[in-house]
C-alpha cells in the first residue's frame, strides 16, 4: 500500500470518526427540536424524522405568550400568573447578580491569595478545593437556616432573589477563587512592579494591570457563574415561596409532572432557555480561547 493511499485512508477514518462524534452531539439537540415541533406531547420521536407529522410552532407560542398557570400568586386569578417575560427578568437578575458577585469577590480574593503572603493562605486554598467538591445541594440545609435568620423587612433573605444570588455565589466562589488564583499566578509580577514604580497603588495595579490581562479567566468565571444562576432550580424551589420571584429554570422544572409532562412545551422552553447561554458563549468566546498575556513582558 502506497504512502499516499495510507494517508487518504487515515484521513477518511478521521473524518468518519469526526462525523460520528458530530452526529452524537447533534442528535439530542435535533431530538429536542423535533419534540418542540411535535404537537402530540410524546417523550421521544416514534420515528427518525426531524419534522414530525403535524409540526407547528404552537408550543413556542404557548411558552412565550401564555401564562404559566401553576406559577400564580393567586391561582384563582390568571392575571397573577407568571409569564415568560417575568421569569426571564428574574433569571437575568439572578444569573447576572451571581456573575457580578462571583467576579468581584472571586477576583479580589484570588488576587490576595496569589500575591500576598499571610497566615492560613495554604490551608485556605486547600479549603476551597474541598468546598469545590461539595455539591451545592449539600449546603442546602445550612444555607436555608442561615439565610432564614437574616431578614429584609418582614421577610427572610432566603425568600428573595438576592438571597438566591448569595446562595449561588457562595457555592460558586470556591471555584472562582481557585480558577482565578491559578490564572493570576501566571501574570508576570514584573508588570505590577513596573506600575508600582510608576506610582500606581496596589488597588490601581490590580484594576488597571491585572484585571485587563485576566480577561480570559474572568470570561470563564462569568460564563460558569451565569450558567449556575441560570440553570439551578433545586435551591430555588426550596428557598422561594413567592411565584412572582420564580425563574425560568423553576418554570421548566414545574413542567415536569409526576405522571405527565407536556413534552412539546418542555422542549420549546429548553430551547428558548439555552439561547442566552449560547449568546453569552459567543460573546465571550474570543476571550475564553485567547491568551492575552503572551508578549506582555517583552516587546
Binding test (CB under 8 A) with other proteins, winner from 254, 270, 274, 293: 254
Among 249, 269, 254, 259, smallest CA distance to 60 is for 269
Q: In whole angstroms, how large is the CA radius of gyration of the chain?
A: 24
Residue closer to other proteins by CB (options 224, 261) is 261
By the rule CB under 8 A, 154 interacts with other proteins: no
By the rule CB under 8 A, 145 interacts with other proteins: yes
| Coil/strand/helix, residue 72 | strand
Strands 68-72, 151-152: pairing is unpaired
Residue closer to other proteins by CB (options 211, 234) is 234
Of 54-62, 92-100, 258-266, 277-285: span binding other proteins (CB under 8 A): 258-266
Q: How far is Cα 26 from Cα 42, in angstroms, rounded to an integer?
A: 20
Q: How far is Cα 15 from Cα 32, in angstroms, rounded to an integer?
A: 26
What letter would DSSP give residue 44? S
Residue closer to other proteins by CB (options 58, 254) is 254
Residue closer to other proteins by CB (options 110, 273) is 273
By the rule CB under 8 A, 42 interacts with other proteins: yes
Q: How far is Cα 74 from Cα 59, in angstroms, rounded to an integer?
A: 25
Residue closer to other proteins by CB (options 74, 185) is 74
By the rule CB under 8 A, 152 interacts with other proteins: no
Question: Residue 58 belongs to what H/E stretch?
Answer: helix 58-65
Residue closer to other proteins by CB (options 60, 68) is 68
How many residues touch other proteins under the rule CB under 8 A: the total is 31
By the rule CB under 8 A, 33 interacts with other proteins: no
By the rule CB under 8 A, 270 interacts with other proteins: no
Binding test (CB under 8 A) with other proteins, winner from 25, 260, 275, 294: 260
Q: How far is Cα 230 from Cα 190, in angstroms, rounded to an integer?
A: 39
38, three cell numbers: 411535535
Instruction: Give Cα separations from 55 to 34, 37, 58, 63 (angstroms).
Output: 8, 5, 9, 16
Q: Which residues bind other proteins (CB under 8 A)?
A: 40-44, 46, 69-72, 74-76, 140-141, 144-145, 148, 233-234, 237-238, 241, 243, 253-254, 256-260
Amino acid at each position: 500500500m502506497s504512502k499516499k493511499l495510507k494517508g487518504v485512508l487515515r484521513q477518511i477514518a478521521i473524518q468518519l470518526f469526526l462525523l460520528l462524534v458530530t452526529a452524537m452531539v447533534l442528535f439530542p439537540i435535533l431530538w429536542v427540536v423535533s419534540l418542540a415541533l411535535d404537537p402530540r406531547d410524546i417523550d421521544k420521536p416514534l420515528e427518525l424524522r426531524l419534522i414530525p407529522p403535524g409540526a407547528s410552532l404552537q408550543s413556542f407560542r404557548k411558552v412565550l405568550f401564555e401564562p404559566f398557570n401553576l406559577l400564580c400568586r393567586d391561582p384563582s386569578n390568571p392575571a397573577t400568573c407568571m409569564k415568560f417575560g417575568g421569569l426571564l427578568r428574574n433569571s437575568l437578575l439572578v444569573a447576572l447578580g451571581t456573575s457580578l458577585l462571583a467576579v468581584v469577590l472571586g477576583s479580589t480574593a484570588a488576587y490576595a491569595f496569589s500575591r500576598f503572603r499571610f497566615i492560613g493562605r495554604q490551608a485556605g486554598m486547600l479549603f476551597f478545593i474541598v468546598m469545590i467538591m461539595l455539591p451545592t445541594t449539600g449546603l442546602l440545609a445550612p444555607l436555608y437556616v442561615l439565610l432564614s435568620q437574616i431578614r429584609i423587612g418582614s421577610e427572610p433573605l432566603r425568600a428573595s432573589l438576592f438571597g438566591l444570588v448569595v446562595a449561588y455565589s457562595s457555592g460558586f466562589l470556591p471555584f472562582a477563587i481557585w480558577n482565578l488564583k491559578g490564572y493570576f499566578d501566571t501574570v508576570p509580577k514584573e508588570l505590577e512592579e513596573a506600575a508600582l514604580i510608576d506610582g500606581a497603588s496596589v488597588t490601581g495595579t490590580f484594576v488597571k494591570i491585572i484585571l485587563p490581562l485576566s480577561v480570559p479567566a474572568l470570561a470563564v468565571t462569568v460564563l460558569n457563574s451565569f450558567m449556575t444562576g441560570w440553570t439551578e432550580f433545586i435551591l430555588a424551589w426550596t428557598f422561594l415561596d413567592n411565584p412572582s420571584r420564580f425563574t425560568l429554570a423553576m418554570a421548566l422544572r414545574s413542567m415536569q409532572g409526576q405522571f405527565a409532562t407536556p413534552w412539546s412545551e418542555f422542549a420549546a422552553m429548553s430551547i428558548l432557555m439555552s439561547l442566552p447561554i449560547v449568546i453569552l458563549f459567543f460573546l465571550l468566546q474570543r476571550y475564553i480561547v485567547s491568551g492575552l498575556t503572551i508578549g506582555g513582558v517583552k516587546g
